[in-house]
Amino acid sequence: GAVVSQHPSWVICKSGTSVKIECRSLDFQATTMFWYRQFPKQSLMLMATSNEGSKATYEQGVEKDKFLINHASLTLSTLTVTSAHPEDSSFYICSARGSGYTGELFFGEGSRLTVL
């Protein structure tokens, strides 16, 4: 099946710094990508939907200035956590859907962020 890769798989940063997480579709063009956040023992929560070449659509309660999403190409979307704080520590997961619309979402392995 299609492959979606995230990088880094884990990152530790100091409070106040910014961290960028990349999501790549390796063998297909992803017109739409989704970013999720998962707290320990809780559900994956959709943060935002990004479409290639346009602004991301954020879910209610998600700070768009804090979680910057860029989907500049059909194979890459990035999530930047700006001015990170310990409460931003979480597991971030991206998923992608191809332009051919197979009806299936493909997920990355996830990126664990720890803010000290």
Among 92, 106, 111, 113, which residue sits at the site for another protein (rule: CB under 8 A)?
106
Task: Check binding of 108 to another protein (CB under 8 A).
Answer: yes
What's the one-letter identity of residue 114? T
* Most distant CA pair in the chain, distance: 42
62 binds another protein (CB under 8 A): no
Q: Does 41 bind another protein (CB under 8 A)?
A: yes
Q: By CB under 8 A, how many residues form the interface with another protein?
A: 24
14 lines the binding site for another protein (CB under 8 A): no
3-state helix vs strand vs coil in the chain, percent to 5: 5, 55, 45
- Of 104, 57, 50, give the one whose Cα is nearest residue 75: 50
Please, what is the minimum distance in Å from the beta carbon of residue 59 to another protein? Answer: 9
